Amino acid sequence: MYLCQRTIQEKILLGKGRFTDFIGDYGEKGEIYMKNHAYQDGHLIHTNKKFSTLKQKQKEWITTELRDRYIKMIKYPNVKLRPNKRDQILDEVYDLIIKKEIWIPYEEVEKHYYSKISSFVRIHRKQFENQIEGGSAQTESCH
């Protein structure tokens, strides 16, 4: 297929206003098949998007949601959550991501989440130690 055979609307959809080439072909009904893009709900979606390509605010929001929910579920310091609880948190946060209309594949969020779990446990341990130190300092000052 040649670039000149595409309609202006297709060129705008594919390149956000720029005339860009794409890897793809037309199907039997005239729909466009592309390697790394899908057309969902009237939007062109990048199917192999990486977590690092999100905006900084989006990355921070997702990480904060994951961390806060993970720490709330931890009952004992230095102990990771069981897989069913861990996956429940991931599913809840991914539902929130969808509601905020942030497009990122589930696998990318999952990979980011699993890479951050040890830091979540470390943060919880430090918070727990600070609570113990703060509590013991208060009891000493009362006596």
Res. 23: pLDDT tops 50: no
- The mean pLDDT value for 121-142 works out to 74
Residues 35 and 66 in one domain: no
| Domain that residue 62 falls in | 51-142
- The stretch 14-32 carries a mean pLDDT of 47
Of these ranges, 96-100, 127-131, 134-138, the one predicted with the greatest mean pLDDT is: 96-100
Q: Which of 64, 47, 66, 45 is nearest to 106 (CA)?
A: 47
Q: Check if the beta carbon of residue 121 is closer than 8 Å to that of residue 74.
A: yes
- Same structural domain for residues 32 and 101? no
Query: How far is it, in rounded angstroms, from Cα 84 to Cα 68?
Result: 17
57/42 same-domain check: no
Asked if 25 and 63 sit in the same domain, the reply is: no
Q: In the chain, how many domains are there?
A: 2
Task: Kindly report each contact of residues 82-88 with a partner whose C-beta sits within 8 Å and lies 24 or more positions away, as own/partner.
Answer: 86/117
Question: Are 132 and 63 members of one domain?
Answer: yes
Confidence of residue 134 (pLDDT cuts 50, 70, 90): confident
Are 55 and 42 contained in the same domain?
no
Q: Do 23 and 41 belong together in one domain?
A: yes
Tokens of residue 1, six digits: 């297929």
Model pLDDT for residues 29-51, shown as the tens digit of each residue: 555 556 766 766 776 666 677 88
50-86 pLDDT per residue, tens: 888 899 999 999 999 999 999 999 887 778 899 999 9
Residues 41 and 83 grouped into a single domain: no
Query: What pLDDT is attached to residue 109?
Result: 95
What separation in angstroms does the CA of 58 have from each of 6, 8, 54, 95? Answer: 34, 32, 6, 14
Report how far residue 118's alpha carbon sits from residue 78's, in angstroms, rounded to the nearest whole number: 9
Domain identity same for 56 and 121: yes
AA letter at 19: F
Are residues 9 and 32 located together in one domain of the fold? yes
CA dist., res. 39 & res. 99, Å (int)? 18
Does the pLDDT of residue 22 top 70, yes or no?
Answer: no
Measured in degrees and rounded to the nearest 5, phi and psi for residue 41 equal 50, 40
